[in-house]
Structure 1
Amino acid sequence: MSREMYKKERQIPDETVKKMLENYGSEGTLAVNGDDGYPYCVPMNFVYVNDAIYMHSAKYGYKIDALQADQKACFSVIVRSEVVPELFTTRYESIVATGDIEFIEDDSERQLVMEAFIDRFSPDFREGGMKFIKGAMGKTAVLKLNIKEMKGKAFRSDKW
């Protein structure tokens, strides 16, 4: 799956990509192999913990069925973008990661990930978030993208 980026000058260094995933962007698009050979993409919130991208989901549905049939997946994030009409282009920072999805069953890892979601998206509501996690944990699938390849790309021009 590894290919060199066509416009190599736009590639973001790996450590910067990791920091971007840890600190910026709140959602990405998970792409899986769907029915009849068609790709299926769905927007999802994520956290980046211990060099993996984690998502949470209901335990049932099309996405889950697709992942149980084939764990290969791609996750893309547009960290930021801005159309520049006068230049007929877009400034952007984006990340694409490919790998295999793992369904996390270990209770301590599931708890760690769900707490990371609370800390990232609802830090001012941690106490309520912990109660929410306790009630939702049995109904929640925790998905881990074990990253095989990840690249960031940016076109920043003169303003970024």
Structure 2
Amino acid sequence: MSREMYKKERQIADETVKEMLLSCKEGTLAVNGDDGYPYCIPMNFVYTKDAIYMHSAKYGYKIDALNADKKVCFSVIVRSEVAPELFTTRYESIVACGDMEFVEDDSERRMVMETFIDRFSPDFHEGGMKFIKGALGKTAVLKLNIKDIKGKAFRSDKW
């Protein structure tokens, strides 16, 4: 699962990758889908306690796929910009692989949902806490236990 990066000079330091995850809002979750086909889903996420957390309805294709196989890949495009003069793209990206866990502990579930409110709806904290109270029982909280994570970037004089 963990391979060396081909262009090692583009690898981003681990601590920088963690800092970047704190500022990003969405990525793409890839699961093993039906008939051997991958299934990728855009997802909001939060990074805390060295894990990537997401939330979802408790049912659907994604949940079925995770129940069948917990191995996942999650990618984030931190930023990108076509560099037409260089015939390439400037970018910063992150790819994490690991096993997805359904969080069952109520205190961890609440902490994750509160982190989502703090991150995505900071001006609506009181309403967010009420929302969590009503939605927590209907929500699957997913924890990506990271086994491998790498950041990669191509920057030129403009970045």
Matching of residues 70-85 of structure 1 within 5 Å: 70-85=69-84
* CA distance in 2: counterparts of 1:17 and 1:66, whole angstroms: 28
Q: Considering only aligned residues, what root-mean-square deviation do their CA atoms show, in Å?
A: 0.6
**Alpha-carbon distance in 1 for matches of 2:116, 2:99:** 21
Q: Which string of whole-angstrom CA distances, capped at 9 and with x for unpartnered residues, describes residues 1-26 of structure 1?
A: 1100000000000000001001x221
Q: How many residues align?
A: 159
What amino acid does structure 1 have at the position aligned with 2:17? V
**CA distance in 1 between partners of 2:82 and 2:131 (Å):** 38
User: Which consecutive segments of 4 or more residues in structure 1 shift more than 6 A?
Assistant: none
Q: How does 1:1-160 map to 2 (within 5 A)?
A: 1-22=1-22, 24-160=23-159
Q: Could you list the runs of 5+ residues in structure 2 that have no partner in the other structure? A: none
Give the Å deviation of 1:59.
Answer: 0.2
Q: Counterpart amino acid of 2:78?
A: V
Scaled by the length of structure 2, the TM-score of the pair is 0.98
**SS of aligned partner of 1:158:** coil
For the 8 Å contact 1:25–1:80, the answer to whether it is kept is: no
Give me the whole-angstrom Cα distance separating, in 2, the residues matched to 1:137 and 1:147: 24
TM-score, normalisation: structure 1: 0.98
Equivalents in 2 of 1:93, 1:132: separation in Å?
Answer: 34
Identity across aligned pairs (percent)? 86
Deviation at 1:87, TM superposition (A): 1.7
Counterpart-to-counterpart distance in 2, 1:26 and 1:147: 18
Can you list the C-alpha shifts for 1:100-124, whole angstroms capped at 9, x where unaligned? 0000010000000001101111111
Shift of the alpha carbon at 1:81?
0.7
- 8 Å Cα contact 1:101/1:144 also seen in 2: yes
Looking at structure 2, the residues matched to 32 and 14 of structure 1 have their Cα atoms a distance apart, in angstroms, of 24
